[in-house]
Structure 1
Amino acid sequence: MSHLKSLLSILLISLSAVNASPLRRDASMATLRFAARLNAREDATLSIADADRARAQAMVHAGSKSKRAGSSSVSITNGVVDYVAQVGVGSPATQYSLLVDTGSSNTWIGAATQYNPTSTSVDTGDTVYVSYGSGEFSGEEYLDTVTLSSDLVITGQSIGVAQSTSGFNNVDGILGIGPTDLTQGSVSSGGLVPTVTDNLFSKGIIGTEALGIFFPPISANSAGELTFGGYDSSKTTSPVNYVPLTTTSPASSYWGIDQSIAYGSSTILSETAGIVDTGTTLILIATDAFDQYKSATGATMDQTTGLLTITSDQYAKLQPLTFNIGGSPYDLTPDAQIWPRSLNTEIGGSSSSIYLIVTDIGSDSGSGLDFINGYSFLQRFYSVFDTTDHRVGFATTSYTDAVIN
């Protein structure tokens, strides 16, 4: 599993919760499709749970201190699934395979496919460096035309052109779609670097600085979508319910929200702060909540995968795991609480076993970052990250209650 790739994550501020979305599909919205790709298990020394936990602790550390160049270091992609978009740079455009990253904000290329300047390329003379924990890149900053799709063409976009990279395999770089603040100190001239989302908005290509993300389950063999400027209502089966970003540190440094979690009728985590993160594979919860979940399900720890495992009889008795966010319940069904059995061997597990996707974050509740709603949550719910109104929203999809694992 290639977990030598790394990332950052995102933002703060607080508003009151809003239940009906004003964002709609219109001429100032456009969608970029991306493909899911399984990571090869190149190194089995770190389990999927350990990799996610290491990422979580790096987030706590990075979010608890002031920003400086290279100070934030978290894992670039989740431990098993990468999301890769084809992005054109230059004119005529060269196509690059870039990791879709909601947790960092610099867009850069050159890890695999070489950058060839064209008539639209401008060398700013500045150097750029970003550390992602166990991975990093350094190089030169250029301004160039970036083509996300026929409707999403950005002129004069800052890009990093890598001269040195580590921790990136079989990709050309990153499409950074996180908040602008995460670029602070990354370029030698100092200051902030406008992101692709910033420039789409400032140039009037999109009408609001919001991003809708559709992550189908990897077992569904379907493409994901980024919708710039709003959300794609054709992918949702309910209204988008919004909540303000949390003010609790260190979760407030990312896409942080407040929520509680119940298993069946019992609350296992009282309302507290945590984050929504596309780069985390599993669902991580505070140790005291995890211990309650383990006891309630009757699960045992599998040392090979680092995940809880249950029997078929225990699976038949699983209760919903409910995330209460802004007064709205989001239920993970029994099927949604287990790792896809067709992918058991991808995490070093047994094909006949049943593994749970809830694991221990590594610290008790009260740390200021008590949960991470990772890919295992986001593949069941559509998510909207709204910079304009400082909020995050969720809606159900056709996969919310699907039996696919």
Structure 2
Amino acid sequence: MFPAASLLTTLLLALSIAASPVEIRNSPITLPIARRLNTSGGSINILQHDQSRAAALKNVGENTLNRRTGSIAVTNDAVGYIAAVGVGSPATTYNLIVDTGSSNTWVGAGTAYVKTSTSVDTGEPVEVTYGSGSFSGTEYTDTVTLGSGLTITAQSIGVAATSTGFTGVDGIIGIGPLDLTEGTLTDEPDTTIPTVTDNLYSQGIISEIVVGISFEPTTTETDTNGELTFGGTDATKYTGDIAYTPLTTTYPASYYWGINESITYGTTTILSETAGIVDTGTTLILIATNAFSEYQSATGATLDRETGLLRITTTQYDALEDLNFNIGSNTYALTANAQIWPRALNTYLGGSANYIYLVVNSIGTPSGEGLDFINGYTFLERFYSVFDTTNSQVGFATTAYTDATTN
């Protein structure tokens, strides 16, 4: 049991951050997440970033040597999902990408690291190479502040001396599995680094190593449309019950938040049950090349040269059937509106305001390779998700936005 004062402090923190009260289950801590389109270099190429990320994710799992030399999944810097995190005492606030596909937390890409009385230089070199970016520098331990004053002590923080591929953000808060940190301390290739979630648990702040994530569809360039909950779930963000499925044992999806699923378009199976991952750092829904061909044929979509996305006509949109993700004994259906990119944001892709683009695309390899799909942000904005390390499972629930017409 937690002391009453500690529980009250956590409750007040959650209420002060969230728009509405949260379900108190194992003292959850909530942080808002803001979606941000990175348009500093003009229009964004989401497909290119997502496919680069997918290739890096598969490469890490398939090549142990790369993993031990610090090569992990690319962060998609075309679309970032940002949490404000304090580091140090007094705290400096850093805007960090929330990433379930990597596990190191680091700062310094934008705002420089500010040393305070709580900063401890471990002297350990740290390096992570992402698919289209990287950082290298020194490991520190420091106080990390989530929200209004709740702190984690002695959290490992990478302080970037150099970084590439990150614009408009300060770094990453990694909430992937612990093993993804192995090899990122370059002088200690067999060492793992406790994640923020691990330390919340070990320091008695939460009683389960669980992260709940809520996203909501948005049609604006920047929008605080998400919530990250440590240690529990927020019952105001989903409807019905959360259904859980065990983590996959299939390699290389098993390195990440990997699950087994099949996909049907209407009643037609386009991807037989196989392993893939759930990932906040991927924007689109990526599926094996053979499934993508089936989906394109079934929808009648054409490939748009400007964006790389599938494009459909208004008539084809009206005829779209549900895209069903069959996970365990449950089916999660993306409606026609959930399968398209927000039309109000078409020009940010370099596309036409008058076109309709689909958010399903190719992962770049055929099925049967152990990581055959990625359920990215465009899936997660329609379903509440729970990443449960304690019980080795991922959970999903419907939300008020599952069937909404927003795009």
Q: Which TM-score applies when normalising by structure 1?
A: 0.90
The alignment status of 1:85 with 2:83, answered yes or no, reads yes
The alignment status of 1:200 with 2:192, answered yes or no, reads no
* CA distance, structure 2, for counterparts of residue 175 and residue 126 of structure 1: 19
Mapped contact 1:260–1:324 kept (Cα < 8 A)? yes
Mapped contact 2:383–2:402 kept (Cα < 8 A)? yes
* CA distance, structure 2, for counterparts of residue 27 and residue 291 of structure 1: 45
Mapped contact 1:105–1:179 kept (Cα < 8 A)? yes
Q: How many Å apart are 1:27 and its aligned residue?
A: 5.5
Letter in 2 for 1:294: Q
Deviation per residue, 1:214-273 (Å, 9 max, x gap):
111232744311100011111001211000011111111111111111111111111111
Secondary structure of the residue that 1:153 maps to in structure 2?
Answer: strand
Mapped contact 2:50–2:76 kept (Cα < 8 A)? no
* CA distance, structure 1, for counterparts of residue 335 and residue 31 of structure 2: 29
* CA distance, structure 2, for counterparts of residue 51 and residue 150 of structure 1: 34
Aligned counterpart, 2:391: 389
Letter in 1 for 2:364: G
**Compared with structure 1, are the counterparts of its residues 151 and 173 closer, same or farther at alpha carbon in structure 2 (3 Å cutoff)?**
same
* CA distance, structure 1, for counterparts of residue 218 and residue 313 of structure 2: 23
Aligned counterpart, 1:5: none
Q: How many Å apart are 1:135 and its aligned residue?
A: 1.1
* CA distance, structure 2, for counterparts of residue 369 and residue 347 of structure 1: 26
Letter in 2 for 1:110: G
The alignment status of 1:32 with 2:31, answered yes or no, reads yes
Aligned match of 1:140 in 121, 135, 138?
A: 138
Deviation per residue, 1:269-309 (Å, 9 max, x gap):
11111111111111111111111111111111111111111
Q: Which TM-score applies when normalising by structure 2?
A: 0.90
* CA distance, structure 1, for counterparts of residue 352 and residue 310 of structure 2: 13
Aligned counterpart, 2:127: 129
Deviation per residue, 1:134-162 (Å, 9 max, x gap):
21111111111110123631011111111
Mapped contact 1:97–1:171 kept (Cα < 8 A)? yes
The alignment status of 1:339 with 2:344, answered yes or no, reads no
- The structure with more helix, counted as a fraction of residues: 2
Answer 1 or 2: higher relative contact order, Cα 8 Å, separation at least 6.
1
Secondary structure of the residue that 1:304 maps to in structure 2?
Answer: coil
Residues 26-105 of structure 1 correspond to what in structure 2 (within 5 A)?
26=25, 28-40=27-39, 42=41, 47-66=45-64, 68-77=67-76, 79=78, 81-105=79-103
Kindly, what percent of the aligned residue pairs are identical?
A: 60
**Compared with structure 1, are the counterparts of its residues 156 and 73 closer, same or farther at alpha carbon in structure 2 (3 Å cutoff)?**
closer
**Compared with structure 1, are the counterparts of its residues 55 and 188 closer, same or farther at alpha carbon in structure 2 (3 Å cutoff)?**
closer
* CA distance, structure 2, for counterparts of residue 337 and residue 258 of structure 1: 21
Q: How many Å apart are 1:202 and its aligned residue?
A: 0.4
Secondary structure of the residue that 2:324 maps to in structure 1?
Answer: strand
* CA distance, structure 1, for counterparts of residue 185 and residue 29 of structure 2: 29
Cα RMSD of the aligned pairs, angstroms, is: 1.8
Letter in 1 for 2:296: K
Aligned residues: 381
Deviation per residue, 1:103-153 (Å, 9 max, x gap):
211111112222221111111121211111221111111111110123631
Aligned counterpart, 2:104: 106
* CA distance, structure 2, for counterparts of residue 120 and residue 250 of structure 1: 38
Secondary structure of the residue that 1:219 maps to in structure 2?
Answer: coil
Aligned counterpart, 2:354: 352
**Compared with structure 1, are the counterparts of its residues 229 and 257 closer, same or farther at alpha carbon in structure 2 (3 Å cutoff)?**
same
Letter in 2 for 1:76: T
* CA distance, structure 1, for counterparts of residue 348 and residue 233 of structure 2: 32
Mapped contact 2:38–2:80 kept (Cα < 8 A)? yes
Aligned counterpart, 2:212: 212
**Compared with structure 1, are the counterparts of its residues 239 and 219 closer, same or farther at alpha carbon in structure 2 (3 Å cutoff)?**
same
Q: How many Å apart are 1:72 and its aligned residue?
A: 2.8
Aligned counterpart, 2:363: 361
* CA distance, structure 2, for counterparts of residue 131 and residue 57 of structure 1: 13
* CA distance, structure 2, for counterparts of residue 66 and residue 27 of structure 1: 36
* CA distance, structure 1, for counterparts of residue 300 and residue 333 of structure 2: 20
Aligned counterpart, 1:283: 285
Aligned counterpart, 2:11: none
* CA distance, structure 1, for counterparts of residue 228 and residue 147 of structure 2: 11
Aligned counterpart, 1:7: none
Residues 112-191 of structure 1 correspond to what in structure 2 (within 5 A)?
112-150=110-148, 152-190=150-188, 191=191
Residues 3-42 of structure 1 correspond to what in structure 2 (within 5 A)?
25-26=24-25, 28-40=27-39, 42=41
Mapped contact 2:217–2:225 kept (Cα < 8 A)? no
